[in-house]
Structure 1
C-alpha cells in the first residue's frame, strides 16, 4: 500500500479545525492567521481527493470524508506525541531498559536496597534482572548482554570495565551442625585442614576461589575439595548433608539452614568484596543514574 505523503502540520490543522468548527478560532489556537490555515486545509483536501469540511456562512461542518479521516488523524498525532515523550524520557535517562546481572549471594546483601532506591528515583525505567555468577557477568558485560553487574571479587585489571566496591564482609566457616568444631564460637582456619571442602568451581569466580585457597595456604594447608557447586546456597546444602565444610561470605548466614553452623574465623581479618561493574563508555544514561545510587565507599558487611 502506498504510504501517504501528508505533512504533520496539515493533519494538526485538520484536527484543530474539526474540534473548533470555526476557522477564526482554529487559527487563533494554532497561532497562525486564517489564510494560512485555509491553505493547509485545501492542500490536505487535494491529497485526499475530497472535501473534508462544508463551508457555509458562519458555519463549518465535517463532510463524511472528514468524519472518516478524523479518528485516524487523532491516532497518528497521539502516537507521535507518545513516541516523542518516550524518546525524551529515554534520552534523559528517566526511562528505558537496564539489564542487571547479579551473583546469588549479592541478593542477600546490597541488591534489594539498590533496586528499591533505583526504582524510587526512576519508576519508569524497565529493569531486566538476571542471576549469574561473576565470570559470566564479566563476559556478558563485554558482550553487551547486560549493562550492570553486581558481582563478588572483580578481576584486578579490566581496561573496558569500571568497578566500584559497594560492600566488604568477612568470611565464615560453614560446618555441618554435627561437626566437632560447630560447638565453638569461632574457628581457626588450620582446624579445617583435615576436613573435605565444598567450594564453587574456579571458572565461575576465579578471584574468590583463589582468595579462599590462598587463605588456606596461609594457614598451612591445601584444601581437599570433595564437591563443587556453582551457587553458595547449594554449597551450604551440600555441607548440611555432611559432604564437607566450606568458607563463605558472612552474608550466607542469612540462609539459616537448620543443620548448618556458621562460625567466625579467628582471626577474621580476611574480607571479600562486592562490586558494581559497568562498561566505562556505555551511552545508556540509566547506567550513570544507577551508579549515583551506590556509595563509592565500602561499608562493612555482616
Structure 2
C-alpha cells in the first residue's frame, strides 16, 4: 500500500463518482478503478459499492475513510512542519544577554522576533555574564549570546553588534555629578561598584585594565553579579560604577550618568556555536543586525 492509494480512495469516497474523482486527480478513470480494486484486494475488504450512477461507502469503507483522512492530514502536517523548520520559521531559540543589553536591546529584539517569527518558541536569559554565556553556548543550553568579547572564544562564532561608549554612574550628590565628562584619572581613590572578578566578568577585566593603563589602582567597594544591583548600589551611595552607555536605560532615582572620555568604549558582540548554520539562527541574526543598524 502506498499513500497514493489512500489519496485515490479519499477522492472517490468524497466525490461518490469515479469519473469526477479521476478529473480531480488529473488521471484517467480506468487506472483509478484498478487502483481502488487493488486496495480492496490488499485489505480483503469491500470499501465501496458501485452502481451505474453512483458510488457508496460500505460501513468498513466509512471507517477507513476517517482513518485515511487522519493519515493524509498527518503526512501533510509533517511536511509543513519540516518545511517551516528548514526555512527558519519554526523551532526553538534560547538567547542570553549581558546586563546593559538586557535593558536596552532585549525588549525590542524580543518583540521583533516574536512578531516576525510567530511559530518559533523563544527563551531569554537576561543579566547573564559573558563567560557564563560562552559556557552555555558550548554546552548547548544557549543558542545565541549578546556579550562582551572574551580572551578565549574558541568554539564560538563572533559577530560585531555595536560599539558602546562608557559612562560613570554616580550618586546624584557626588562631587562630579554636575560635570559634563570625567576621565579615568578623576576616579583615583573612588570606591568602585563592579561586576564580579576572577574571570567571571568581561567588564571587570576591562575596567581593571583601564585603571592599570592610567597608572592608578582600583579600590573595589562592592562586587555584584547583576547590572541592576550595581546601579542600585550606586543609588545607595556605596560607590561609583563604570558602565556601558545603554545602562542609562535603567533610570534608577538617585543615580547620575556622566560620560567617561579617553576610552574606546566597549564592544557588544553576538556569539553562536561555531558551525551552527541553522536557518532559524540565521534569521534571528539578520533581525538583530537590523535592530542594531537602527
Determine if the TM-score, normalized by the shorter chain, exceeds 0.5. Answer: yes
Correspondence 1:181 to 2:148: no
Give the alignment's Cα RMSD to 1 decimal: 2.5
Aligned to 2:270: 276
Of 49, 52, 67, 1:57 maps to 52
Unaligned runs of 5+ in 2: none
Correspondence 1:237 to 2:232: yes
Of 241, 244, 247, 2:242 maps to 247
Of 117, 125, 133, 1:130 maps to 125
DSSP-derived class of the 1:293 partner? helix
DSSP-derived class of the 2:176 partner? helix
Displacement of 1:278 in angstroms is: 1.4
| Paired residues of 2:169 and 2:256 also in contact (CA < 8 A) | yes
Of 280, 283, 293, 1:289 maps to 283
Question: Which has the higher mean CA deviation after the structures are superposed, 110-119 or 68-77?
Answer: 110-119
Of 219, 222, 226, 1:224 maps to 219
Q: Distance in 2 between matches of 1:248 and 1:186?
A: 14
Question: Which has the higher mean CA deviation after the structures are superposed, 34-43 or 14-23?
Answer: 34-43
Number of paired residues? 293
CA deviation string 1:165-221 (max 9, x = no partner): 211122111112232222333333233222221111125754321111111223332
Aligned to 1:36: 31
Q: Distance in 2 between matches of 1:295 and 1:14?
A: 51
CA deviation string 1:260-288 (max 9, x = no partner): 121122x3433011111112311411222
Displacement of 1:157 in angstroms is: 4.3
TM-score (norm 1): 0.87
Q: Distance in 2 between matches of 1:299 and 1:169?
A: 13
Q: Distance in 1 between matches of 2:280 and 2:289?
A: 16
Correspondence 1:10 to 2:11: no
Of 86, 98, 104, 1:103 maps to 98
Displacement of 1:26 in angstroms is: 1.2
Aligned to 1:3: none
| Paired residues of 1:136 and 1:204 also in contact (CA < 8 A) | no
Q: How does 1:46-125 map to 2 (within 5 A)?
A: 46-125=41-120
- 1:26–1:96 Cα change, 3 Å: same
Q: Distance in 2 between matches of 1:138 and 1:107?
A: 16
Of 136, 139, 155, 2:135 maps to 139
| Paired residues of 2:156 and 2:273 also in contact (CA < 8 A) | yes
